[in-house]
Structure 1
Amino acid sequence: MLQYSLRRLLIGAGMLLALSMLIFVMLRLTPGDPIDAYIDPNVPMSPSDLVELRDTLGLDAPLPVQYLAWLQQAVMGNLGYSIKRPDQPVLSLVFSRIGPTVLLMGSAIVISIIAGIASGMISAVRRNSVVDLSFSLFAVTGISSPPFLSALVGLYLFSVYFDWLPSGGMLTPGRDFSIADLLHHLILPAALLAVAQTALIMRYMRSSMLEVLNQDYVRTARAKGVYEFWVITKHALRNALLPVVTLIGSTIGLAIGGAIFIESVFNWPGMGLLMVDAVENRDYPVIMGSTLVIGACVIFVNILTDLAYAVIDPRIKVG
């Protein structure tokens, strides 16, 4: 297990390095000159001042040299400073936004796992029933709806039309912090972020559960008179979970993509909103730093997902 974990960490480090190279090159290929982001349009600058500024920032060096210089600082924990907020290190900005994003994504993932597994089990046990058809309709709708559409529809229905939940923010302005107020603001964006993941997990769980329910050991358990609840939960569920665990690990990336839209719509002060602001302002250091941290988190979660296989199914051996 230790050797496998170390090998997966090395592979993850290589993937993170490749991701940083890809983002660095893509940002440099975007239209416009990176130096424009550092210049105040209201302050005139002479050509010699531009040359000096470009030399100071290292933008006159070849692209590989610029990347290696940035990578050397990133390995030491220095991701640079924000262009629009020069007094703010990128790492501090990222860390200040990680908490709200982890809270939002963690809540959405917990909702999607519980709701997806439960509805998938019920749908498989009640195959071709009205309940099964209702869950299937929800799954098709959830998978087909992009996150920004779900966010806008949910915002209109629950915040504007019914006025049940807040339309944005993480806390009520001017009110003392309370868990109840935080949960009141969290429930809608977390539930909307969980829609697509819940639909995917439900479909996988239903398919896997149907396959397991047709196995000989399940029929044997029923023939021995084992109570149906224990047949489903003890004999069938654990074996049906393995492919679902794979999906749960892969939905982390889907949740990050959805969080960018959800945080923008609900003005949630997390990593997604930070990245949107950075892209709008062409804040290259913040874009690079945010992407690197998010990529590291996704890779780490995928490694944990791989290691979870052996815990769920002892028949699997890592090597």
Structure 2
Amino acid sequence: MARFIVSRVCQGLLTLFLVSILTFFLINLAPGGPSAIMNFESTAEQREALTKQLGLDKPVVQRYGEWLGGLLRGDLGLSLDSQQPVASLLGERLPNTVILAAATLTFTLLIGIPLGVLAAVKRGGAIDRLITFTSTFGMAIPEFWLGILFIIVFAVILQIFPSSGMVTAGSEFAIADLAHHIVLPMLTLSILMLPNIIRFTRSAMVDVIGLDFIRTARAKGLGSFRVFFRHALRNALIPIAAIIGLIIPILLGGSVVVENVFGWPGMGRLAVQAATNRDYTVVMGVTMLVGSIVIITNLLTDLLYSVLDPRIRYE
């Protein structure tokens, strides 16, 4: 197990290194520059002085080496746009994305797994077809369109939920206020994630339901709830854990579209702002953070397999 973990960590570090090279050279060699330099009100002398101040007059290979050296020291540099430490910006935005991601994942699992089990139990019936059709339809809905639709219906027409933000402007932080603001972005993300959970749960349950130990449990007179949710679902958790492992990085990386539609101050919104302003250091910081989350999540998912199924061992 220890050898497996060390091997995966080394592979993850190599992957991050390659991602950093690709991202750094792509954004630095692209035409244009940071918004501060491209300010049309600045004179040519001012632009040149600012270019030297930010170190953008150096060769791109040298700039990458300096950036990588700072990263190894735990320094992600300063934002070219706001002149704030990138680490501070990420530290401010990451918890907001984690809150939205955790709420979305919890809601999705509470709804998606029971629906997937129900579709498997009623396989071939009207309920199964309805759930399958609905989940397929959910996969085809554009997230920006769904978010705007929710805002029009629930924020503008019905005025039940706020249209944007994380808390009410000018008020003190309160859990109830946060919960009120999180409903619409959470529902938007959940509807997009639910089809994957439902379809994977149904597929895994269909494979397990036909096994001998399930037929034996039913022959012993055990109730349907105990058979399907305690015995069948427990043995179907590995493929379900796999799809959860794929969903978590997407949520923690921040849904760019959803966070921007609802004005949620998370990682996705920060990434869009940084890309728009050509804020290279922030783009690199977001990329490395999201890449680290993906690698850690994949490692934890692999380790979870051995917990769910004792037969799986990593040597």
Once the two structures are TM-superposed, the CA of residue 36 in structure 1 deviates from its matched residue by 6.5
Structure 2 CA distance for aligned equivalents of residues 215 and 209 of structure 1: 10
Alignment equivalent of 1:67, drawn from 54, 60, 64: 64
Structure 2 residue 311 is matched with structure 1 residue 318: no
Question: What amino acid maps onto 1:110 in structure 2?
Answer: T
Structure 1 CA distance for aligned equivalents of residues 208 and 168 of structure 2: 48
Structure 2 CA distance for aligned equivalents of residues 29 and 113 of structure 1: 42
Structure 1 CA distance for aligned equivalents of residues 37 and 72 of structure 2: 24
Q: Give me the identity figure in percent.
A: 39
Summarize the alignment of residues 177-256 of structure 1 with structure 2, pairs less than 5 Å apart. 177-256=173-252
1:229-260: CA deviations, max 9, x gaps? Answer: 22112221111111111111111243356621
Once the two structures are TM-superposed, the CA of residue 176 in structure 1 deviates from its matched residue by 2.5
1:129-162: CA deviations, max 9, x gaps? Answer: 3322221122111111232222122222222232
Question: What amino acid maps onto 1:234 in structure 2?
Answer: R
Alignment equivalent of 1:153, drawn from 149, 152, 156: 149
Structure 2 CA distance for aligned equivalents of residues 76 and 280 of structure 1: 28
Q: Which runs of 5+ in 2 are unaligned?
A: none
Aligned residue for 1:46? 45
Question: What amino acid maps onto 1:72 in structure 2?
Answer: G
Once the two structures are TM-superposed, the CA of residue 225 in structure 1 deviates from its matched residue by 2.2
TM-score by length of 1: 0.92
Question: What amino acid maps onto 2:312 in structure 1?
Answer: I
Answer yes or no: is the 8 Å Cα contact 2:136–2:195 preserved in 1. yes
Answer yes or no: is the 8 Å Cα contact 2:81–2:277 preserved in 1. yes
Structure 2 CA distance for aligned equivalents of residues 275 and 282 of structure 1: 10
Q: Which runs of 5+ in 1 are unaligned?
A: none
Aligned residue for 1:14? 14
Structure 1 CA distance for aligned equivalents of residues 161 and 257 of structure 2: 18
Once the two structures are TM-superposed, the CA of residue 177 in structure 1 deviates from its matched residue by 2.0
Aligned residues: 315
Structure 2 residue 137 is matched with structure 1 residue 138: no
Alignment equivalent of 2:82, drawn from 69, 80, 85: 85
Moved more, 122-131 or 181-190: 122-131
Answer yes or no: is the 8 Å Cα contact 2:76–2:87 preserved in 1. yes
Alignment equivalent of 2:293, drawn from 273, 294, 297: 297
Structure 2 CA distance for aligned equivalents of residues 35 and 125 of structure 1: 56
1:78-113: CA deviations, max 9, x gaps? Answer: 111112212x11111111111111101111111112
| TM-aligned CA distance change 1:271 to 1:210, over 3 Å | same
1:38-74: CA deviations, max 9, x gaps? Answer: 3543231339x72x65455443443322212111111
**TM-align CA RMSD:** 1.9
Structure 2 residue 168 is matched with structure 1 residue 169: no
1:262-285: CA deviations, max 9, x gaps? Answer: 110111111111111111111111
What secondary structure, in the 3-state scheme, does the structure 1 residue paired with 2:119 have? helix
Structure 1 CA distance for aligned equivalents of residues 237 and 294 of structure 2: 21
What secondary structure, in the 3-state scheme, does the structure 2 residue paired with 1:65 have? helix
TM-score by length of 2: 0.93
What secondary structure, in the 3-state scheme, does the structure 1 residue paired with 2:255 have? helix
Structure 2 CA distance for aligned equivalents of residues 230 and 208 of structure 1: 17
What secondary structure, in the 3-state scheme, does the structure 2 residue paired with 1:46 have? helix
Aligned residue for 2:107? 111
Moved more, 179-188 or 249-258: 249-258
Question: What amino acid maps onto 2:4 in structure 1?
Answer: Y
